[in-house]
Chain A
Amino acid sequence: QQQVRQSPQSLTVWEGGTTVLTCSYEDSTFNYFPWYQQFPGEGPALLISILSVSDKKEDGRFTTFFNKREKKLSLHIIDSQPGDSATYFCAASPTNSAGNKLTFGIGTRVLVRP
């Protein structure tokens, strides 16, 4: 069972454009939602995250939106740059003292063309 669904699987945008990635989940206990960025040959690195008590979080050119009722979230990258070309993963977990068991989506491969 795929608990975290991510779309699209790949997309291409022009430099300066806006990249929009979407994610949905099923487990109602999930309340922490990070987005990770992964370049070829490297491990994923945290880009931005949001807790279920919020509906929006912004960090520079990156904004994540969260809709608890629909169990959906999205990542928007404005003024996309060629250096943003990477694979982006949404993830989810319940936050608890026992640990942070992240469940990852399949990823979206983003190519930003100059």
Chain B
Amino acid sequence: EAGVTQSPRYAVLQEGQAVSFWCDPISGHDTLYWYQQPRDQGPQLLVYFRDEAVIDNSQLPSDRFSAVRPKGTNSTLKIQSAKQGDTATYLCASRGTGDAETLYFGSGTRLTVL
């Protein structure tokens, strides 16, 4: 069974540029999460979906960050006008209905904003 797939693996931007991250969750997993992990810190939840619906985006900086999951499968996280403080690894995770607790993480996208 394929795991959670993320792309790109790395991204390097100048401040003010936009970037998109893509996530393909484990097949059949209805819940998808985006986490931000700054260097030497734990993951911090940004937003999560059940199917195509946003369940909680209270931690998403809404003025520059957006996330969609239009068909309830793949998801895209976008940063408009990136800032140096956005430098972090962006992790996607998914969870299935049968395995009520376990989150399965992808390898992440490492973003550097210069």
Number of A interface residues in the complex (CB < 8 A): 25
Nearest residue in B to A41 (C-beta to C-beta)? B107
User: Contact: B55 with A43, CB < 8 Å?
Assistant: no
Whether B102 is near chain A, meaning CB under 8 Å from some CB there, is: yes
Q: Chain B nearest CB: distance from A23 CB in Å?
A: 11
Nearest residue in B to A102 (C-beta to C-beta)? B103
Whether B91 is near chain A, meaning CB under 8 Å from some CB there, is: yes
Nearest residue in B to A49 (C-beta to C-beta)? B101
Stretch at the interface among B14-22, B40-48, B73-81: B40-48
Q: Chain A nearest CB: distance from B81 CB in Å?
A: 27
**B: interface residue count bin:** 20 to 34
Q: Which residues of B contact A44 (CB under 8 A)?
A: 43, 91, 105
Q: Which residues of A contact B41 (CB under 8 A)?
A: 106-107
User: Contact: B55 with A98, CB < 8 Å?
Assistant: yes
Q: Which residues of A contact B103 (CB under 8 A)?
A: 46, 100, 102
Q: Which residues of A contact B4 (CB under 8 A)?
A: 43
Whether A101 is near chain B, meaning CB under 8 Å from some CB there, is: yes
Give A residues with C-beta under 8 Å from B: 4, 6, 32, 34, 36, 41-46, 49, 89, 91, 95, 98-107
